[in-house]
Amino acid sequence: MIQRYLQTLGVVVLLVVALASTGTPALAGDLIFGGQEHAYSVIFRGNGEAIVFGRLVFTNTGDQPQTELRLDAANVSVSEFVAYQQILPPSCIEYTPGSRSSRTCVTYGEPDYAGGAVSSGDSSQYQAVSYDNTEGEVVLKLPVPIAPDKSSAVILAYASRSYTDPHWGNYFTYDFETLTVEERVRHSSVTIDVASELFLKGDRSRVNYSEDYLMDDLAMGEVSDAASLSVGQLDTLSQRIGSSGSIYKTSSNLAAGDTLEVRGAYGPTWLRVHVSSFVWAFVIIAAVIAAAYGLGRAVKKRHRKHPEQTHASVFPTHLLNDLVYVMVGLIASAVAVGTTVFLTYLLEEIDFFQRAFDSAPVAITAAIAMCLYYALVLFGPGVLLAMKHGWKALVFTVMAEFAWLLVFLVIYIGLFQPLGHY
């Protein structure tokens, strides 16, 4: 038995080594999970219009040169459509020995469309793509036909109002879906952002970085301006699509016809964007208070039926019945959370405080002061109640505060800052 097992294991090892040396596993993986690669960057305007930039990498899987690429846009009204076919030079896979500045390429491979690599200067080329848009299908006419088993990429930009729904107060909800193709999409990514004067729900900051200026300028102007971009600008745009944005979503191995969907909301002010979140937060807080009140009534009723257990109980029922410790815990934890939000705003948005905390003495002094402040806010109310009602009041007040802090954390994560956005 052991000998047969060892023989079988040896055969398996030899097969694995042979397959690895010939590169067959990678080929099998490509056959199973191969497909196109799509990247989108979406910028929403204050009028509800979405400016969409896309980069689609595809391979000709047929036996004839590919002269067109079909995109399904049945649910989208597309306008101001601009597209380029990206033609990259062969990638270097082997260099001569030496420093980076002196070495030269000795072996070239296929262009790296999937990796998005573009060389410096004018080595990349871009050809304008004509298209037909009929009955919800966009047919791109490739100016450079793609030979069988060869790859290429298309960069596109368009405007659409189909992704947003308006609400009162210039508040918009959006539901963006990627364009569909007749092949499997191996990897798809979407980034979402808004114009600089707007607030995106779920966004942690409103900082615009310098590498995003090109895309922002195009989004704030006319999409047709993309038709006059230089090669260098198109290279920059190609690299930024799918990676520049405040919210990021990705998916892999989408079947033919499947889409990557991203939903959210944006508006003119942070408060307007989070009105519904504040309403739900109020409902949750009221529900917790009502539950505590109901629990107190139940305990009080039970003690009336069993008065002999009143003095034996370690629970301060008089505090529970009056909701004293519940409300004190709510107020203290709300003050602590509000202080944290306010300090975070000062440190992120006000340059004076940012520069001040670069000084080590100031940072250390502020840290000590904040520790004392939080200790006073969280333990001070309990100490005052304990002076009148005993040590149990301190224990349960502190427990209530930390319970409320947990409630606030859940509210923040669930309503104000959903996880997984970027």
pLDDT digits (tens, 9 = 90+) for 363-399: 888 889 999 999 998 898 888 888 888 888 888 888 8
Least confident of 3-7, 45-49, 236-240, 277-281: 3-7
Q: What angle do CA 87, 241, 59 make, to 5 degrees?
A: 40
Tell whether the model's pLDDT for residue 309 goes beyond 80: no
Note the pLDDT tens digit of each residue in 34-59.
Answer: 689 999 999 999 899 999 999 999 99
- Please name the helix (run of DSSP H) or strand (run of DSSP E) that holds residue 127, with its range, or none: strand 125-128
Q: Which residues of 309-340 are buried (b: 16+ CB within 10 A; e: fewer)?
A: eeeeeeebeebbeebbbbebbbebbbebbeee
pLDDT above 70 for 275 = yes
pLDDT, the chain, mean? 78
According to DSSP H, which parts of 23-53 are helical?
24-33
Cβ atoms of 145 and 62 within 8 Å: the answer is no
Q: Which structural domains are found in the chain, ordered by start?
A: 34-86+123-273 (2.60.40), 275-416 (no CATH)
Is residue 126 within 8 Å of 166, Cβ to Cβ?
Answer: no
Please tell me which residue, 355 or 82, carries the higher pLDDT value.
82
pLDDT at position 22, please?
A: 41
- Decide which of 362 and 164 is more confident: 164
| Banded model confidence at residue 166, pLDDT cuts 50, 70, 90 | very high
For residue range 51-84, list pLDDT tens digits in order.
Answer: 999 999 999 988 999 999 999 988 888 888 899 9
Q: Return the minimum-mean-pLDDT range out of 108-122, 240-254, 381-395.
A: 108-122
Give the span between the Cα atoms of 66 and 261, in whole angstroms. Answer: 28
pLDDT at 224: 63
The distance from CA 261 to its chain's CA centroid, rounded to whole angstroms, is 12
Residue 18 has pLDDT above 90, yes or no: no
* Residue among 224, 200, 252, 237 at smallest CA distance from 422: 200
Share of the chain above pLDDT 90, in %: 24
**Least confident window among 82-96, 232-246, 343-357, 359-373:** 343-357
How does residue 105 score in pLDDT terms, banded at 50, 70 and 90? confident
- Using pLDDT thresholds of 50, 70 and 90, give the confidence band for residue 173: very high
User: Which of 347 and 198 is assigned the larger pLDDT?
Assistant: 198
Task: Please tell me whether residue 165 adopts helix, strand or coil conformation.
Answer: strand
Please give the average per-residue pLDDT across 173-196, as a whole number. 91
In terms of Cα–Cα distance, which of 402, 396, 226, 419 is closest to 324?
396
Q: Is the pLDDT of residue 29 over 60?
A: no
Is pLDDT of 279 > 60? Answer: yes
DSSP characters over 235-253: HHHHHHTTT-SSEEEEEEE
206 has pLDDT over 50: no
